Amino acid sequence: MSLKLTSYKGTRDLYPVDMAERRYIFDGWRVIATRYGYKEYMAPLLEPVEIYAAKSGAEIVNEQTYSFTDRGGRQMVIRPEMTPSITRMVAARRQEMSMPARLYSIANFMRYERPQHGREREFWQLNLDVFGIDNIYAELEIINMSWDVLGYFGATADMFTIRVNDRRLTDFIMRDYLGLNDDQTMCMIKLLDRYDKMPRATFDEAASEILGGDQGLIDRLNAVISVETLDDLPAEIRDNQVTAPLRDLLGKLQLQGLTNVVYSVRLMRGFDYYTGIVFEVFDEAPENRRAMFGGGRYDGLVGLFGVEPLPVAGVAPGETTFREFLLAHNLMPDFSDSCGPNITILPIGGSDTLDAATDVADELRGSGLNVTVDYTGRKADKQTKAAVKNKAGWLIYIGDDELADEVMTIKNVGTGKQDKVPAVELVSYFYAKLDEQLDSLLMDKVGEEE
RNA sequence: GCGUCUGUAGCUCAGUUGGUUAGAGCGCUGGAUUGUGGCUCCGGAGGUCGCAGGUUCGAGUCCUGUUAGACGCCCCA
């Protein structure tokens, strides 16, 4: 009976190449968050169950979280999301924090769900939240960041669409325009959320049932579900003040040249804690069309902690769907040849050369260079082959001759050229080479810009 | 919780109507070459054919169950 080789269901093993891809994504996220003045925080991996129960249904928390009882009898949960935690943190310093507070984190979460395309049990998310701005500029900033977070990696407007809606407008349509009660509204929102997933006939049938077969209401519903812009809405909705925030936001985004932002009357984002504008970023890759991530305004949560309420807008891109977006649009660099140290020392003589290699490695490392040593004692060709495969930039051969002469043989893997360098000049040799590399990199960069 | 598809070497796969000891390429590893990489040649390791039952003289192959994975549904904070 041997141990299993596979990782736990819904989790991923990240080998160096995978990790390089993750680092690439996270580093880009940090650049954009920082560029907008957001500061990084971190919350605990575990939270008491109550913090989620207030917001999500008890059912969801019980069935879809990893939870356990600690030794003190407390019901604890591995965080399934960041919003309650950061809300708690901000609420705890409600009086002393200067507003607006712009905060971000990149963290992992766990949900006990069936893994499928784009969904894992353990996943990482960038959480961006701005606290303390009650006007539309908060949403504007969040959507701009969502755009830039993709644009930073080379995404262009044709690769994705940002769909925007307003919870208050949806409520108006459900209650005032259609005259639905709470239950009907809830069912209708759920139904609209799945509109694109079902055949039209199925939708019509379900809608008719919710509306009690009232043909007048069905006609009114049909008049709104297929509109593409705010202006296409029936006059009694279009001319109501409830459309003002969306109109304002869309106008501002248009002025900024964000051509791929559209109004979507069917966008629902579940119906948890959002109180105003909601939006979703859609991948338009033909083989990958679906919602990547979303966000919106949630003004009601801070107050749940018993402090003066605060308006909040946020967005949370997930690594899983983000990675697939980059792959689908050919935006992920190839990291398969970018791991490994710069310099590999190959001792190819007696055991003396192993000791000498260790000393040389120590000296170079002391000067800030990345160095590894092949201690296998294999023949020179095997050592060379392994080092090249590991993407070493330079090889230092230390054999009996080098030891005797105190001169090292250095090979540039890229060019195949070799130099004989006195042992005492090794460090300055490599720094001169690094300078050359930097210069040529700068030249390339200048060349690109021209 | 429900459904569909897929499990043969580390990877990609072959394996005839059920028939001896289960194969190939790549990868890994050693040698040809007691001191130099991407070629070439020769060797080696690595498989209870996902697991368990059943049918059969005989099962990688057929049947049943089960498990794991992928993808959908439900859900998606």
> Does the nearest atom of strand B lie within 7 Å of A395's Cβ?
yes
Residues of chain A with pLDDT under 50: 1, 450
**pLDDT of A108:** 96
Distance A396 CA to B38 C1' (A): 19
**pLDDT of A57:** 62
**pLDDT of A450:** 45
Would you say A24 and A69 are in contact if contact means Cβ atoms under 8 Å apart?
no
A267 DSSP assignment: -
**pLDDT of A141:** 98
User: Residue A235: phi, psi to the nearest 5?
Assistant: -55, -40
Give the ipTM of the model, two decimals please. 0.81
**Contacts for A269 with CB less than 8 Å, ≥ 6 apart:** A165, A278, A280, A294, A296
What the block records as the tokens of A119 is 């969904």
**pLDDT of A224:** 94
Distance A164 CA to B71 C1' (A): 29
What the block records as the tokens of A73 is 């009898």
> Does the nearest atom of strand B lie within 7 Å of A71's Cβ?
no
**pLDDT of A272:** 74
Distance A52 CA to B5 C1' (A): 37
**pLDDT of A56:** 62
Would you say A412 and A393 are in contact if contact means Cβ atoms under 8 Å apart?
yes
**pLDDT of A351:** 84
Give the integer Cα–Cα distance in Å for A201 and A206: 9
